[in-house]
Structure formats: C-alpha cells, structure tokens
Amino acid sequence: MANQLWLKPTRSDSRTAMEDTFYVVPETVHNQLVSQVFENRGFDQEESKAVAEFAAFATRHGVRTHNALKALHLDELFGSAVGGCKPKAQVEIKKSRFDACQTWNANLKVGQAIACDAMDACIEMAEKHGSGTVIVDNAFHYLWGGGYVMKAAAQGYYAYTNCTSTLAEVVPFCGKTPTLGTNPHSWGLPTTEAVGFPIVVDWATSVIAMGRVQQLKREGINLPPKAAVDGDGNETTDPNQAVSLLPFGAHKGYGLGLLNEIMGGMIGGSLPTVRGIPKDIPEEKFSCTFFFQVIHPEAFDAGNFAGNRNQGSNVKAVLEDILKEGNENCLLPGEMEAKFAQKTEKNQGLLFSQKELEEFAHLAHENAVAFDVEQFSVAT
C-alpha cells in the first residue's frame, strides 16, 4: 500500500489511501466537537461552525491532510494562542473603483470563514460581470484551497484560488535554505455534466505538503523520495527527520511557489521568512494573503464548436479524446475525492483512522465533550 501512494503525482493520491481501516463518525458528532474546541479558544459560534463544516467537507472527500486536526494544530501553533489569528475579528472591505474586484482586510480572522465568504462574493460578481475577484490581505491560513473551488465548480463556475502559506518551509530550486511557503494553487472546473464531478487541480508547490508529513508521521509511513530534507539540508524519507520541503518538478514548482509570493507581495503580504508566529520586528506583518477568482461559463463560450456541440458536450468530447486508446485507467484530478465522497455517503458518516480517533478523543477529554471511540463502527 505504501509504495502505491507515489504512483500518481497529484496531491489527491495519498490523502485518501493511507490506511485500509476507517471508522464512521457521524458528522454532527464531529462538528459539535470541533466547534466546541474553537469556541473554547475564543471564537464565536459562526466562526467555529464555519471551521467545523469546512473540515467535515474536506474529510467527506478524503482530504485527511487538511481536516479538523490540521486546523486545530495550525491554530494552536500559529493562530489564536500566539496572536496570529484573532477570534471574532471583523472583515474590512476596502473601497474600489472596480466593479468586479474587491480587496478585503481580514484583520487576522480565521481563514475558513473568510474563504467561504470570498468565494461567494466572487460568484455574485461573476453573475453580474462575467468574472469576480476577491483579494484578501492580513489573513490566517484557509487550509484546503481545493474545497473552495470544488464548491464553486459544482455550481457551474470556473474557480481559482491561491494563498501564501503560514511558514517558509520550502527550499528554492538549487538552494539550501527554506524561504518559500508550500503556497498551494487550486483550480475548479465545471465538468459535472461531462464526467459526473468537478475536476479539481489542487496542489502544494512542494512535492508534498507539511500536513502530509505530519500525517505520514502519525501513520508510521515513510515519505516519498526527493520530497524533504533534514536539519542539515540532506534528503530524507523519515517523516520524523523532515524539517524542510523541496519544490515539485524542480524549477517548475519553484516558479509556481514564487508566483504566490510575488502576488502576495503585490497585495501587501508579509516577508515569507517572518510569516507565521508574530515576532518583535517593528513595522513588519506576519500574515497570509489569499487570491480568489471566479469566471462565469458563459464568459468562456466563444460559440464556435465543431460537430454541432455546445460548451458542455465539447468539454465531454475533449476529455473522452484524452482518455481513449490505452488511457482509460488514467484518473482525472478530483476523481479520487469524488469516489471517497461516495464511500462517505454510503457509510453515512465521516471516515477516520484509529490514530485520528485517538487524537479527537484527546481533544474531547481536554474540552469536556462526549466522544466515545468505542461507539464508532468500522466503515465498509
């Protein structure tokens, strides 16, 4: 099983296949626990609900590297406990002379609540103007970018987002020192009519995300080769020794990660090597930036399709042409998440490993929330 994880170069491949045995946790039980933990940390009910529901959405699709445990871990290390994220913060929408572009100051509000609202605003603008863009400064990490574009694509829109990550964990191509974030990019394409689910291209610009390192450490599985380095800058496959990450595709991943930093710099973002935990550096910022864009499908339609096809049938024909003649077993980006969502629906609850349940049980004990591990059945 472990060796099979590296056959596909996308972020999707590993997140749904770490462990054969899953346990079924009712989504209401999950959301109650996660919401209560965030409320105990000072977040209001609306923020806590947004975090819990988005974490459930990620888990529903098998995105185990960016689930509630990751959200809580990030908040503990870099968020509300140290001033990197401010509970109950209010978003400030800046004045703009552009009808289809908004700039927001998040004031360090929790990222999931910001991202969901920002994507909704993009959709609203796209309905009026063909496209909509929201730029967010002074933010705290939103976790799984693919989830936001997936939701928009499921509604029929083309969607894109990127962000600057919390920490500089990636070594630039030909370098030795980590000065880039993992800086993910996420695209969502409205292909449900063509293939039954939205195609979602979603990846960190490192070979793997640090969340995956943490998960593999938890599961006792080695890292793929040429993905991480230890404290001395030497390549390692031991998740316990991994300190920094390497860009995927050498100069290609480096370029895509650099793109986020430059865009973030234009928005007003912090220096990558000081981002994360607030430090005593006068006049510097320590927050992330987000970029969201939605395009209405009609804005893509040139109205000149071959064979009397329309936009939807032409997309389907293109995909069928790509996957023919020996390519029938190739996966489309987002397909594994869609299949895992079907498994989740079949089991009528969210699926977690034994190790994950143990972490949730520990959180429940700390926060005086009922969470009996023994009550959860094995998934089929």
Residue type, 127: E
Q: What is the pLDDT of residue 19?
A: 54
Q: What is the pLDDT of residue 1?
A: 25
DSSP string, 63-84: -GGGSHHHHHHHHHHHSTTTTS
User: What whole-number distance in Å separates Cα of residue 79 and Cα of residue 66?
Assistant: 16
Give the global pTM: 0.90
Q: Where are the alpha helices (DSSP H) in 160-272?
A: 192-195, 210-219, 251-267
Q: What is the pLDDT of residue 168?
A: 93
Q: Is 203 helix (H, G, I), strand (E, B) or coil?
A: strand
Buried b (16+ CB within 10 A) or exposed e, 342-378: eebeebebbbbbeebbebbbebbeebebebeeeebee
- Tens digits of per-residue pLDDT, 85-144? 999 999 999 999 999 999 999 999 999 999 999 999 999 999 999 999 999 999 999 999
Positive/negative CA dihedral, 219, 221, 224, 226: positive
User: What whole-number distance in Å separates Cα of residue 111 and Cα of residue 75?
Assistant: 10
User: What whole-number distance in Å separates Cα of residue 340 and Cα of residue 350?
Assistant: 10
User: What whole-number distance in Å separates Cα of residue 72 and Cα of residue 39?
Assistant: 12
Query: Do residues 3 and 354 make contact, with C-beta atoms less than 8 angstroms apart?
Result: no
- Tens digits of per-residue pLDDT, 134-171? 999 999 999 999 999 999 999 999 999 999 998 999 99
Within 8 A by CB and 6+ apart from 60, the residues are 27, 340, 341, 344, 350
User: What whole-number distance in Å separates Cα of residue 276 and Cα of residue 271?
Assistant: 10
User: What whole-number distance in Å separates Cα of residue 64 and Cα of residue 84?
Assistant: 24
Q: What residues of the chain score a pLDDT lower than 50?
A: 1-18
Query: Do residues 230 and 236 make contact, with C-beta atoms less than 8 angstroms apart?
Result: yes
Residue entry with tokens 């926060």: 367
Query: Do residues 2 and 14 make contact, with C-beta atoms less than 8 angstroms apart?
Result: no
H-helix or E-strand spanning residue 298:
helix 297-300
Residue entry with tokens 């039954």: 196
Within 8 A by CB and 6+ apart from 197, the residues are 191, 334, 335, 337, 338
Angle ∠(155,158,160) on CA atoms, nearest 5 = 115
Query: Do residues 125 and 133 make contact, with C-beta atoms less than 8 angstroms apart?
Result: yes
Q: What is the pLDDT of residue 179?
A: 95
Q: What are the φ and ψ backbone dihedral angles of 277, each rounded to 5 degrees?
A: -80, 125
Query: Do residues 210 and 168 make contact, with C-beta atoms less than 8 angstroms apart?
Result: no
User: What whole-number distance in Å separates Cα of residue 84 and Cα of residue 269?
Assistant: 14
User: What whole-number distance in Å separates Cα of residue 160 and Cα of residue 252?
Assistant: 19
Query: Do residues 242 and 213 make contact, with C-beta atoms less than 8 angstroms apart?
Result: yes
Query: Do residues 279 and 293 make contact, with C-beta atoms less than 8 angstroms apart?
Result: no
CATH dotted code for 3-375: 3.30.1370.60
* DSSP code at position 16: T
